Amino acid sequence: MAWRDTVWSRRIDATGKGLAVISIFSLPFSTTLFAVASSLSVLAWLATGDWAGKLFRIWENPVARYAIVFFGLLCLGGLYSSAGFEDVRAVLGKYSKLLYIPVVISILDQTEWRTRAYASFVVSMGFVLLLSYAKLLGLLPLDAFAEDYSIAKTHILHGVLMALLLYLLLSWALRHPRWRWPCVLGAVLTAYNLFFMTSGRTGWVVFFVLVGALCLQQWRWRGALVASLLAVTLVGSLYATSAVFEERVHLAVNEIHEFSSSVDRKSNASAEGGVSLRLEHYLNTLTLIARHPVFGGGTGSWKKEYAELVSGRETIKLSDAHNEYLMIATQLGLAGLVVYLVMLIRQWRATAALTPDWRVLAQGIVAMMAVAGLFNTSLLYTHEGKVYTVMAGVVFAALPRRRATPSTPESV
């Protein structure tokens, strides 16, 4: 009898899958629990053997293949990088979260465990929402977890997760009449939390993009018109009713105006991460890309080359470009950026093979990453990258397998 067919192997396998579900629940708020649970899950996965089967499952999945290929390019970029060994190693360590995608796809190879992982993620976002309201009601200290009424690791991650939860609730309300009113109630609470209690502008933009995707899913080409009208109505209503929304929009507009009117293009941002500071870094990063446009300066090169570029200037020096696309183009050139874009596009196209419940979450995860990457290095440094890689593994593990019988998409 092969080891993988023994009772102990099956128990270890089930334990590993359970730990993967626990790690997914911990994603928004506990780095330590995630690290422990996910590490033990991977160890259980390694201990159960069947390497040929695991490698086949990974390589037959197109989303897993693209993640491996892109990480391979980053490793290759380290060989010609202008950065030192320690910087290359540190950046590769951050990007190694891409390997969560193929590993999770292999671990969650059974429908019931994928469903539990999906449920765990949704429950986790709901838990974050409840804790945020507990903060509002004074049941938690105001400085607990992140800033303002956020609970997730940062206010940006909190906003992005609430945008995703709101999108899921609205989608379920449209497609599942039996659960419509509970979903509508949950959507109202989530929307108030997103737009009236927290200040993450990235989450707001992610939500408006997801609303557009939802309208297109429901009404095809007419959905574009519906989405446009809805977006204008929502922005106007929020600007008139939400002090947080009005303040953050005013701040962004003023910073853009100050930056555009600044002759020497020095940052007018008073705090790290401001809009004008981002714009300054974007322009400087474009200068770096122009120096080596095809293959870039190598993995980890941004920090060193940027420091040299702005040496002697009065500017706040950030640790990254605050834009994933520019960050990748600086390191791997336009060639690497094309591969990254193709990876995201391939993931979006792969959602067509999923059933509606899985497709909604899959498109939400991909859109979240694509939009958040416009304002942050979401894959490299931020917590959104970890959420994206883990949940991409969960949702795309549900893709039909070539040798599966029957070869039809599964339901949640």
Compare 203 and 264 and report the one with higher pLDDT.
Answer: 203
Query: Is residue 95 within 8 Å of residue 380, measured between CB atoms?
Result: yes
71-124 per-position pLDDT tens digit: 999 999 999 999 999 999 999 999 999 999 999 999 998 999 999 999 999 999
Q: What is the pLDDT of residue 3?
A: 55
Mean pLDDT of the chain: 86
Query: Is residue 111 within 8 Å of residue 410, measured between CB atoms?
Result: yes
162 CB neighbour count, 10 Å cutoff: 31
Res. 402 pLDDT band, cuts 50 70 90: low
The answer on pLDDT for 40 being more than 80 is: yes
Q: What is the pLDDT of residue 322?
A: 86
Which whole-number Å values give the CA distances from 51 to 3, 57, 92, 97, 405, in the listed order? 12, 10, 25, 21, 21
Cα-trace Rg, the chain: 22
114-150 per-position pLDDT tens digit: 999 999 999 999 999 999 999 888 887 766 555 678 8
Q: What is the pLDDT of residue 412?
A: 58
Q: What is the pLDDT of residue 271?
A: 44
In 3-state terms, what secondary structure has residue 132? helix
Helix (H) or strand (E) holding 54: helix 51-59
- What is the pTM for the complete model shown? 0.88
Please state the φ and ψ torsions of residue 111, each to the nearest 5 degrees: -55, -45
Before 406, cis peptide (omega within 30)? yes
303-325 per-position pLDDT tens digit: 899 888 888 766 666 678 889 99
**Residue recorded with tokens 């714009």:** 279
366-394 per-position pLDDT tens digit: 999 999 999 889 998 768 899 999 999 99
Q: Where are the domains of the chain?
A: 54-106+293-404, 108-261
Structure tokens at 85: 């060994």
Task: Find the farthest-apart pair of alpha carbons in the chain and give their distance in angstroms, rounded.
Answer: 76
The answer on pLDDT for 277 being more than 90 is: no
Compare 151 and 123 and report the one with higher pLDDT.
Answer: 123
